[in-house]
Amino acid sequence: MSLISTKQMLLKAQEEGYSIPAFNIHNLETIQVVLQAASDLKSPVILAATPSTVKYAGEEYLLAIIEKASEINNIPVTFHLDHHENVDDIKRIIALGCKSVMIDASKHEFKENVEIVKDIVDFAYSYGATVEAELGKLGGVEDDLIVDEKDSFLTDPNEAVEFVKLTGVDSLAVAIGTAHGLYKSEPKLDFDRLEKIRSMVDVPLVLHGASGVPYDAVQKATDLGICKVNIATELKIPFSSAIRDYFKENPDASDPRQYLVPAKKAMYDVVVDKIKMCKSENKAYDYSYNV
């Protein structure tokens, strides 16, 4: 199964009341873990890469690995650019074969955000790719993305309507109280705001910063219209912790084929839990992937 667009994937999730988990991957091992768990649970899945991951691994390597992996695993899989801001980079990677991108121009004023997103939408459509954008701004830290809490703000429902209309974007990441990275206290999601946005906007809605958000809160957000849930930090922590524990017990170890095994197992358990949280288990049946 070759790489696909996320458009039909998200629309089907929206129609049937579940969300697609989007896991941030970093290397071959994390790709293997996510796809193994998704295959075992028969879940559609999105493999997401931030700009720093693309820089680290190389877009051509990532595209080739994920495309081959999608052929091996008989589930809907796509590669997604997460929180990319550089327009030229996004266009180059789309031209290489990426079918799903997020252009994050949320730090700009509304009008400029619209102009930047519309440019990417027009370009992406010519390649059969779909586009996610963000309105509102999440605080916190994810890789190179750092937004001070005082600079974050929630999505305005009326602006969301206008934004979708002006840009033609396929999905919209909304700010309803989540943040990137680890939370200092339990986040309080603005479900009333989400419900209002859902009633006014037709395109699938996306929840960023889901690491650390309580299980039931994510499920409630899904019930209220979230169709894609982004998870990053909660994957990295068990992976790295398992490696540290391995070296404590095996201080002379040097073979990555050994110390990465417990790391993959620790991440696998989290991926399984998050797939069940999104209610996407057993949703990997056939459907059209056409844009």
Q: What residue numbers does the annotated binding site cover?
A: 83, 104, 134, 180-181, 208-211, 230-233
For residue 82, indicate whether it is catalytic: yes
Strand partners, 205: 172, 226
| Amino acid at site 160 | A
| Binding site residue list for dihydroxyacetone phosphate | 181, 209-211, 230-233
* Catalytic pick among 82, 143, 156, 170: 82
Going 230 to 236 to 242 to 243, the CA torsion angle's sign is: positive
Backbone angles phi, psi at 134, to 5 degrees: -125, 135
**Is 164:201 a contact under the CB 8 Å cutoff?**
yes
**CA 208 distance to own-chain centroid:** 7
Which runs of E-coded beta strand occur in the chain?
Answer: 20-24, 45-49, 77-84, 100-103, 130-135, 139-142, 145-147, 171-174, 179-180, 205-207, 226-231
Binding residue positions for Zn(2+)? 83, 104, 134, 180, 208
Contact 3, 78 (CB under 8 A): yes
Q: List alpha helices for 168-203, DSSP H.
A: 191-200
Q: Is-contact 103 149, C-beta < 8 A?
A: no
CB atoms inside a 10 Å sphere around CB 64: 13
Rounded to 5 degrees, what are φ and ψ at 166?
-75, -30
Residues taking part in catalysis: 82
